[in-house]
């Protein structure tokens, strides 16, 4: 069983490790649980400490996301007790006295468990006292007959009036003295706190770790009733703030996007195409022209073929390297398949043959590829003329198209990852015979270039042997 525990000032990691072998992470903040679900793929998540005030706290929806994925989530002591009280009806498990106080309504304010502490670099050493610990310690004073219930309420109210970051023992006793409590009482309380301090936060944290340890070899428990509604705010946290791991480091997805924006040589073209993709998907909904299951299946095959992904292990590796789940991959492929479906709708119902050619040439113009392709085509025509090649001498359909394609692929960067007849129609060939003719022209030009003697003219001798356009 793999467990991830978010821990900070409540309990030292060394003490926690003595209780449970787990992955211990710093106090949870916004997107911490989302990140842990995908980076560590745990069976169990234990939430003890979490940030607030200075940073965004761990969201309820990311805990629901973990529950939806069958991960057992437990909470105790601090932020964990708060979230468990709020989400127990959805399957989060609360542990310990503090959780029970919040769940029953006896405690309601977040400041009961809050405290000031130093950074993780210095072990999260506390600099103030959590009110729940003071409550538990004063309750034990009642049991020892040092105070009664009424005096307990007065003492606690006085401590609660102190801002949580300033609730240290000196401030607490100064406030009690200012309220008029007798020196004799204060001395008894000082001795009691010194000798019988109740660290209920620590106790509850240890109880949580013990609970995880006794879950068994597999802590996963399906939570069929949890169906997360993915709001825009959740999507923002998931796709922007969630962290992933690369080269042993955790970094936010937004960090990768910003680096690409400022370093990727083709970023503007990539951004243009990404927006075209999502807008085409939107258009598909309007046209009721979305991809079918068969379209998606073919697109998956095409995708894997284009990246030489041969089996499921290589596919799984690609997903991991690109921080995608299988479901997210299929959603992305569905977008691409939907775009192709809209393309086919346009090619079939709107575009004539001339328009098909025009849009391709216009894209070459926009990408500054038109002149190089035109010049290469002119060189091929020169070679065909030198070889005495004439289109009218070709017998349409008289050659093995598969072999011609295989030869062309071996000699160029030509590649097609969809049915060849559909591809030929979409790019503007009149028929498969028309495609056959073009492949024969390319072969004849290659053969002529391979047999021609050198001229001594480097510009002529260095002419490319083939069209290197990759559809």
Q: How confident is the model at residue 467 (pLDDT cuts 50, 70, 90)?
A: very low
Is pLDDT of 205 > 60?
Answer: yes
Ramachandran angles phi, psi of 412, nearest 5°:
-140, -175
Q: How confident is the model at residue 254 (pLDDT cuts 50, 70, 90)?
A: very high
- The alpha carbon torsion through 347, 352, 357, 359 (nearest 10 deg) reads -60
Asked if 49 and 9 touch (Cβ cutoff 8 Å), the reply is yes
At residue 228, the pLDDT reads 78
Within 10 Å of residue 415's Cβ, how many Cβ atoms?
11
pLDDT tens digits for range 101-147: 999 999 999 999 999 898 888 888 889 999 999 999 999 999 999 99
For 408-426, what is the mean pLDDT? 81
For 288-309, what is the mean pLDDT? 92
Q: Give the Cα-Cα-Cα angle 339, 344, 345 (nearest 5 degrees).
A: 95
For 15-36, what is the mean pLDDT? 96
The DSSP symbol for 413 reads: S
Is pLDDT of 455 > 60?
Answer: no
pLDDT tens digits for range 434-448: 888 888 888 888 888
Q: Cα separation of 69 and 325, whole Å?
A: 12
The DSSP symbol for 28 reads: B
Within 10 Å of residue 118's Cβ, how many Cβ atoms?
12
Tell me which of 156-170, 305-319, 338-352, 384-398 is least confident: 384-398
Is pLDDT of 457 > 70?
Answer: no
Per the model's pLDDT, the better-predicted residue between 182 and 52 turns out to be 182
Within 10 Å of residue 390's Cβ, how many Cβ atoms?
9
Q: Cα separation of 333 and 26, whole Å?
A: 36
Q: State CA 36 to chain mean position distance.
A: 10
At residue 10, the pLDDT reads 96
- What does pLDDT average to over the chain? 88
Q: Cα separation of 25 and 36, whole Å?
A: 9
Identify the three-state secondary structure at position 124.
coil
At residue 452, the pLDDT reads 65
Give the domains, in start order, of the chain with CATH numbers. 3-111+202-249 (3.40.50), 122-199 (no CATH), 264-350 (no CATH), 354-461 (no CATH)
Per the model's pLDDT, the better-predicted residue between 407 and 201 turns out to be 201
Q: Cα separation of 13 and 22, whole Å?
A: 10
pLDDT tens digits for range 83-109: 999 999 999 999 999 999 999 999 999
Q: Cα separation of 80 and 9, whole Å?
A: 13
User: What is the model's pTM?
Assistant: 0.78
229-247: b (≥16 Cβ within 10 Å) or e: eeeeebeebbeebbbbeee
Identify the three-state secondary structure at position 81.
helix
Is pLDDT of 337 > 90?
Answer: yes
At residue 465, the pLDDT reads 41
Q: How confident is the model at residue 223 (pLDDT cuts 50, 70, 90)?
A: low
Q: Where are the beta strands (DSSP E) in 48-112?
A: 72-75, 93-94
């Amino acid at each position: 069983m793999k467990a991830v525990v978010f821990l900070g000032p409540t309990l030292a990691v060394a003490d926690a490790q003595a209780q449970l072998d787990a992955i211990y992470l710093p106090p949870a903040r916004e997107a911490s649980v989302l990140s842990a679900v995908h980076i560590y793929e745990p069976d169990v998540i234990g939430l003890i400490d979490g940030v607030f005030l200075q940073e965004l706290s761990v969201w309820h929806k990311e805990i629901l996301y973990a529950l939806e994925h069958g991960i057992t989530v437990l909470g105790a002591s601090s932020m964990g007790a708060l979230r468990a009280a709020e989400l127990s009806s959805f399957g989060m498990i609360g542990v310990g006295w503090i959780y029970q106080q919040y769940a029953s309504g006896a405690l309601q304010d977040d400041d009961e468990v809050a405290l000031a502490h130093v950074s993780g670099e210095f072990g999260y050493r506390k600099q103030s006292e959590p009110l729940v610990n003071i409550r538990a310690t004063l309750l034990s004073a009642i049991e020892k007959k040092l105070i009664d219930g009424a005096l307990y309420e007065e003492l606690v109210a006085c401590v609660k009036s102190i801002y949580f970051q300033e609730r240290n023992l000196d401030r607490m006793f100064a406030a009690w003295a200012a309220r008029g409590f007798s020196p004799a009482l204060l001395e008894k309380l000082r001795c009691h706190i010194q000798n019988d301090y109740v660290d209920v936060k620590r106790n509850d944290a240890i109880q949580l770790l013990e609970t995880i340890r006794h879950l068994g070899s597999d802590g996963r428990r399906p939570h069929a009733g949890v169906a997360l509604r993915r709001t825009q705010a959740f999507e923002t946290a998931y796709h922007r703030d969630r962290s992933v791991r690369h080269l042993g480091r955790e970094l936010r997805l937004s960090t990768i996007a910003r680096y690409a924006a400022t370093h990727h040589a083709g970023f503007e073209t990539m951004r243009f195409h990404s927006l075209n993709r999502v807008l085409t998907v939107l258009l598909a909904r309007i046209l009721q022209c979305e991809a079918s299951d068969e379209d998606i299946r073919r697109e998956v095959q095409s995708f894997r073929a284009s990246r030489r992904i041969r089996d499921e292990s290589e596919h799984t590796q690609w997903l991991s390297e690109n921080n995608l789940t299988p479901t997210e991959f299929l959603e992305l492929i569905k977008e691409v398949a939907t775009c192709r479906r809209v393309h086919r709708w346009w090619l079939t119902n709107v575009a004539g043959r001339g328009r098909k050619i025009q849009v391709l040439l216009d894209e070459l113009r926009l990408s500054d590829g038109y002149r190089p392709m035109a010049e290469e085509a002119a060189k091929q025509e020169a070679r065909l003329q030198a070889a005495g090649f004439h289109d009218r001498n070709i017998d349409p359909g008289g050659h093995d198209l598969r072999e011609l394609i295989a030869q062309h692929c071996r000699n160029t960067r030509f590649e097609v990852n969809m049915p060849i007849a559909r591809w030929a129609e979409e790019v503007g060939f009149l028929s498969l015979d028309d495609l056959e003719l073009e492949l024969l022209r390319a072969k004849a030009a290659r053969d002529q270039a391979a047999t021609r003697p050198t001229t001594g003219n480097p510009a002529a001798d260095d002419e490319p042997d083939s069209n290197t356009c990759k559809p």
